[in-house]
Amino acid sequence: MSVLLDVADLHVHFTLRRGLFGQEKVIVRAVNGVSFMLQPGETLGIVGESGSGKSTLGRALLRLVPATSGNMRLDGREITKLRGRMLEFRRDVQVVFQDPYSSLNPAMVVADIIGEPLTLHHGMRGAARDARVGDLLEQVGLGRHQLERYPSEFSGGQRQRLAIARALASEPRVIVCDEAVSALDVSTQSQVINLLEDLQAQTRVAYLFIAHDLAVVRHISHRTGVMYLGRMMELGPTERLFEAPAHPYTRKLLDAVPVLDPAVQKRRKAARRNLPVVELPTPTRLPAGCVFHTRCPHVMDVCRHEVPEPVPVQGGGWVACHLQSSGPKLAGRPLDALG
């Protein structure tokens, strides 16, 4: 496996100060020991409920927030603590956010929005730069003669195409897509997803595709990782993970997807009535042991004090759950040995 990005035991903690004089320190463990790899030309989907740390993981990769500990390597180069090599790094790792308004300056015309990274990273100016902007606009399906227009003159889907063109301008190795299609209607969503797939086939760019919409992630991702309270609970080939989820939390997420079948709805409603009412944990008050133990229907004694280690799963990937190392097995069965 050729490794483009290697993230090892990444932690991102925030310190909040509470109380009248800020005397009480509260630590938010937004990302709490996450490890994964990304190959060139690969899409890794990241799913998980709101607040599970998906955006913070993406922001740490983009160096928008500092890593508290752990390591990130791009092509073998350490990028966790960059000193004076920020420009080169910015070229290699780009982002497309949910709301292009926050990333596209509304006071700038398209020629400058997309041209800026061309000047910054490739020293391009004038007619040569405009020609390259035109090429990028064509590449994202917008037509090249839009250089003097403002973001407000485009539709939501077109603005997302502009954001993608801007991200592509520096010829990045990785693009973090944080809810990049979540604000779009379904047909625009599928057009933008097709575009992302075409661009990946042409350029071998890798995507870290963060989204709460499981159907979208299943469609676009080669592998998928499931986050809960700052931890990766399970990671594996997308089809295996969706067909045979090995982690109780992954199952819970998949079960939460709305269904039309009334019989299934009825069954789920009954199951919900039987669940204990618990206060949901937060990244400031993490449960000991397995962070999912306060909500897990399979909780065992060991879960309350021992953090489960990842074990490989038949069909690919791994899961961090004591059920898989000691208890009765769920669908995705572990292998006897690593590998």
Ligand X SMILES: Nc1ncnc2c1ncn2[C@@H]1O[C@H](COP(=O)(O)OP(=O)(O)O)[C@@H](O)[C@H]1O
Binding site for Mg ion (CB under 5 A): 55
Q: How many residues comprise the chain? A: 339
How far is the C-alpha of 228 from the C-alpha of 88, rounded, in Å?
A: 32
Within 272-301, the residues that bind ligand SF4 by CB under 6 A are 290, 292-293, 296, 298-300
How far is the C-alpha of 230 from the C-alpha of 286, rounded, in Å?
A: 10
Site pattern 247..276 for ligand SF4 (x: CB under 6 A) = -x----------------------------
C-alpha dist (Å) from residue 253 to 17, 229, 306, 329: 33, 14, 23, 18
CB 50 to ligand X: min, Å: 4
Q: Which is nearer to ligand X, 54 or 223 (CB)?
A: 54
Q: Does 56 bind ligand X (CB under 6 A)?
A: yes
Q: Which is nearer to ligand SF4, 120 or 300 (CB)?
A: 300
Binning the chain into helix, strand and coil, the percentages to the nearest 5 are 35, 25, 40
Q: Which is nearer to ligand SF4, 12 or 291 (CB)?
A: 291
Q: Are 72 and 3 in contact (CB under 8 A)?
A: no
How far is the C-alpha of 138 from the C-alpha of 201, rounded, in Å?
A: 16
Site pattern 222..251 for ligand SF4 (x: CB under 6 A) = --------------------------x---
Q: Does 322 bind ligand SF4 (CB under 6 A)?
A: yes
How far is the C-alpha of 139 from the C-alpha of 196, rounded, in Å?
A: 11
Choices 68-76, 101-109, 224-232, 318-326; region in contact with ligand SF4 by CB under 6 A: 318-326
Quick one: how far is CA 214 from the chain centroid?
Answer: 12
Size of the site for ligand X (CB under 6 A): 13
Q: Which of 52, 94, 250, 324 binds ligand X (CB under 6 A)?
A: 52
- Enclosing H/E stretch for 129: helix 126-139
Q: Interface with ligand SF4 by CB under 6 A: which residues?
A: 248, 290, 292-293, 296, 298-300, 303, 308, 321-323
